[in-house]
Structure 1
Amino acid sequence: MNGNSTDIVVIGGGYAGVTAANRLTQRQDVTVTLVNPRPDFVQRIRLHQLAAGTHEAVTDYREVLAPAVRLVVDSVARIDAAKRELELASGGTLGYDYLVYAVGSAAAEPAVPGAGEFGYPLGSLEDARRLRAALDGQPADAAVTVVGGGPTGIETAAELAEQGRQVTLVCGGQLGPYLHPRGRRSVARHLAGLGVTVIDGPGAKVAAVAADSVRLADGRRLPSRVTVWTAGFGVPDLAARSGLRTDGLGRLLTDETLVSVDDPRIVAAGDSAAPSGLPFRMSCQAAGPLGGHAADTVLHLVAGERPTPIALGFVGQCISLGRKAGIFQYAGRDDTAKAFHLGGRPAARLKEFICQATVKGLAAEARKPGSAKWEWSRDASRPQRIAAIGSQAEPSSAII
């Protein structure tokens, strides 16, 4: 540690981690270190495009990271909260005064027989590249099965079908469960127009995956030369492995200011945070504001001030349907889908704008830390929802 400044370490270089790291450089008396296992920023919302070969989904960190942030390309094996020290996978250690925990999420480990061996997940850069290589190794008319009816499954199925692939989308239940029924019907019509066979409903659960087929719970067997597994996301177990309390999925339990319930010098952000045991939807839409709020919390703590509670709300969900169409499902601040949606080419243009604007937003915060504002996403109803369910997180004074 540097005795002349406050050392802040951010674990995870995704949307939340980069936002937090950039914003922390507002103070001249802090040093900020970002620890990430890759030397490039991954545009995770484009991984389905990487798999289809329509985008590389990576950006040089020099384009999105403030020059004052030190990048350490490594993984964290364990957090020693008592010593305020990180044990790195390379064998070294890294001390900190404050820690921002932004490890993100990844594809969940599938419990279905054969899925881990023969399925291709799509939760990381390495996953997407492996899937792309598998698709390149198959003829254009080879049967492809995408498992999972959420946004990643829908986007992947549409992207591949638009290229002429024979795609079957097995939803495991309902197509687009987040969507309003009107939005769901719109997505179903577009997928049908692309030639995607959608299998949903009670019999649409996968019972087993083989090298050349997928067997459904109702006994049907689908030919599949490449099976893409998008059913669910999990969280790295670093927090639990380090003795910090988590929710059932492994997200770090925090109070409403994003401070860990176990340690007032650890603050969480992004998909790996569970404030009051009521986490926000895993999404890029939430990651940026959560990263910004985590940074603001740390800066308050460094200044000896009391941090403010998170008040993040949502505006909707945007799903691409290939390069020529999409859907923007409007939602209330509480993340409940509304009847209105935007579709077709306008939604495709909006999704591409969001993808580009997200990277530009990171770069803007790197150039002028503290400039990003999220007033558009404020949700005043969260305190009432927390009170209604009863917080699972113990309150923290957040003053050290």
Structure 2
Amino acid sequence: MTENTDVVVIGGGYAGVMAANRLTRRDDVTVTLVNPRPDFVERIRLHQMVGGSHDAVVDYRDILADGVRLMVDTVTRIDAAGRGVALATGGTVGYDYLIYAVGSGSADPGVPGAAEFAYPIATLEAAERLRPVIEAAPATAAVTVIGAGPTGIETAAELAEAGRAVTLVCGGVLGPYLRPRGRRSVAGRLAALGATVLEGPDAKVTAVTRDTVRLGDGRELPSEVTVWTAGFGVPDLAARSGLSTDALGRLLTDETLTSVDDARIVAAGDSAAPSDLPLRMSCQAAMPLGARAADTVLSRIAGERPSPLNQVFAGQCISLGRRGGIFQFAHRYDVAVWFHIAGRPGAKLKEFICGGIVKHLSDEARRPGSYNLHRVPGGPHRQRLLRTRPAKAPATP
């Protein structure tokens, strides 16, 4: 008689759903997905939700395998020694293996007034709070978006395309990931939409008030609505549970995504720090990491040696309103190259990718094990980096 294995997945985002679906490859594995929301959040569409062009949620029934038990709750503590997780509603859920995929959210701005007067956008709840504020603001109201990464650029473009008077405060360079040609293309599109872009070392925010944004050079920008998109933080669940984390709070793992503390705990997505060399926070990394985490657990159940991380990147895709976008191509190790696709083709490519992500999840739900992008070789770059760092001993099963 085959012994059943209980696996709990914490977090129902891109990494968690991919991992949960993939684990159903074995009939003797019981999978429980614990997530604080009853619906899947398309985080890469939250700027569209704020702009009113998408609701950014998907019914879990469309993307979650029938064999996965969805528990709408929040994990408050992991008891590694007792192999259980405590829930906010009371009680515990036991596990044989745990996949830690709690994702990321907004970081503490660390700027006076920002937490009180600026609106974050990194979670569904934050976007839901911001959307009616935008809708209630007069059409001529000054809107300031702080942060020039993909989220800031996309939010600024979405609102500018809707006719809002938007200023994007970069705090440095516009689109740090982009190559100069791509950056010029993005700047041109934002200008065409009527958005103002403030770059350079003086364009750092030093304070936020109810109706202004103060910059490092002393300028004060009128701002009836201020949106904060700069930086990401991760939940402190791992640290609160006594597990080893990096400086940001991501769970420290080896290259198989296994916790350095406990071989029964595997991490995936934005909250994982493999070999203290975490990947860029993105759904592009999260889904392959989710598949890799599931494969690690399945290998351990089968008594096999798990395969190490082998991540590949294609670039960075940014929407610039509904009629524009850019795909910045990159080396396999996530450094941009000279080539990009912009304009309407860029917008169509971004939308194709967004739809393809949900399709990957639903395909894995129907055919567990069909996803294979995590097996595409990422090249020797990561191995070279690892050789220059002190090795961390993996936990013993």
Distance 2:350 2:63 in 1: 20
1:317 equivalent in alignment to 2:308: no
Q: Would the aligned equivalents of 1:333 and 1:377 in 2 still touch at CA under 8 Å?
A: no
Distance 2:391 2:186 in 1: 36
Q: Would the aligned equivalents of 1:276 and 1:391 in 2 still touch at CA under 8 Å?
A: no
Distance 2:91 2:208 in 1: 40
Q: 1:382 to 1:265 in 2, by over 3 A?
A: farther
Q: Would the aligned equivalents of 1:276 and 1:394 in 2 still touch at CA under 8 Å?
A: no
Q: 1:99 to 1:375 in 2, by over 3 A?
A: closer
Residue of structure 2 equivalent to 1:109: 108
- The Cα shift of 1:11 comes to 0.1
- The Cα shift of 1:364 comes to 0.5
- Paired AA for residue 214 in structure 1: V
Distance 1:305 1:45 in 2: 36
What SS does structure 2 have at the residue aligned with 1:116? Answer: helix
What SS does structure 2 have at the residue aligned with 1:260? Answer: coil
- The Cα shift of 1:313 comes to 1.3
- 1:190-269 counterparts in 2 under 5 A? 190-269=189-268
Q: 1:388 to 1:206 in 2, by over 3 A?
A: same
Distance 1:91 1:215 in 2: 45
Residue of structure 2 equivalent to 1:286: 285
Residue of structure 1 equivalent to 2:6: 7
- The Cα shift of 1:133 comes to 1.1
- The Cα shift of 1:385 comes to 2.8
TM-score by length of 2: 0.98
Per-residue deviation, residues 225-262 of structure 1 (Å, max 9, x unmatched): 00000010001000001000001111100000000000
- 1:355-374 counterparts in 2 under 5 A? 355-374=354-373
Residue of structure 1 equivalent to 2:394: 395
Q: 1:145 to 1:381 in 2, by over 3 A?
A: same
Distance 2:98 2:390 in 1: 23
- The Cα shift of 1:393 comes to 3.3
Q: Would the aligned equivalents of 2:258 and 2:394 in 1 still touch at CA under 8 Å?
A: no
Residue of structure 2 equivalent to 1:20: 19
- The Cα shift of 1:387 comes to 3.0
Q: Would the aligned equivalents of 1:276 and 1:386 in 2 still touch at CA under 8 Å?
A: no
- The Cα shift of 1:394 comes to 2.6
Distance 1:75 1:96 in 2: 16
Q: Would the aligned equivalents of 1:10 and 1:102 in 2 still touch at CA under 8 Å?
A: yes
- 1:1-400 counterparts in 2 under 5 A? 4-374=3-373, 377-391=376-390, 393-396=392-395, 400=397
Distance 2:72 2:297 in 1: 23
- The Cα shift of 1:386 comes to 3.2
Q: Would the aligned equivalents of 1:277 and 1:392 in 2 still touch at CA under 8 Å?
A: no
Distance 1:153 1:285 in 2: 18
Distance 1:35 1:43 in 2: 17
Q: 1:107 to 1:13 in 2, by over 3 A?
A: same
- Paired AA for residue 388 in structure 2: I
- Paired AA for residue 224 in structure 2: R
Distance 1:309 1:151 in 2: 29
User: Considering only aligned residues, what root-mean-square deviation do their CA atoms show, in Å?
Assistant: 1.2
- The Cα shift of 1:4 comes to 4.3
Q: Would the aligned equivalents of 1:253 and 1:393 in 2 still touch at CA under 8 Å?
A: no
Q: Which runs of 5+ in 1 are unaligned?
A: none
Per-residue deviation, residues 135-191 of structure 1 (Å, max 9, x unmatched): 011111100000001000000000000000000000011110011111111111111
Q: Would the aligned equivalents of 2:310 and 2:375 in 1 still touch at CA under 8 Å?
A: no
What SS does structure 2 have at the residue aligned with 1:103? Answer: coil
Distance 2:301 2:136 in 1: 53
Q: 1:197 to 1:235 in 2, by over 3 A?
A: same
- The Cα shift of 1:389 comes to 3.1
- Paired AA for residue 152 in structure 2: G
Per-residue deviation, residues 340-399 of structure 1 (Å, max 9, x unmatched): 1110000100000111111111011000100111167421214433334314633345xx
TM-score by length of 1: 0.97
How many residues were matched structurally? 396
Distance 1:383 1:203 in 2: 35
Q: Which runs of 5+ in 2 are unaligned?
A: none
- The Cα shift of 1:109 comes to 1.2
Q: Would the aligned equivalents of 1:147 and 1:169 in 2 still touch at CA under 8 Å?
A: yes
Distance 1:387 1:147 in 2: 34
- Paired AA for residue 38 in structure 1: R
Per-residue deviation, residues 304-342 of structure 1 (Å, max 9, x unmatched): 111010100101000000000100000001100001111
- Paired AA for residue 152 in structure 1: T
Distance 1:103 1:394 in 2: 24
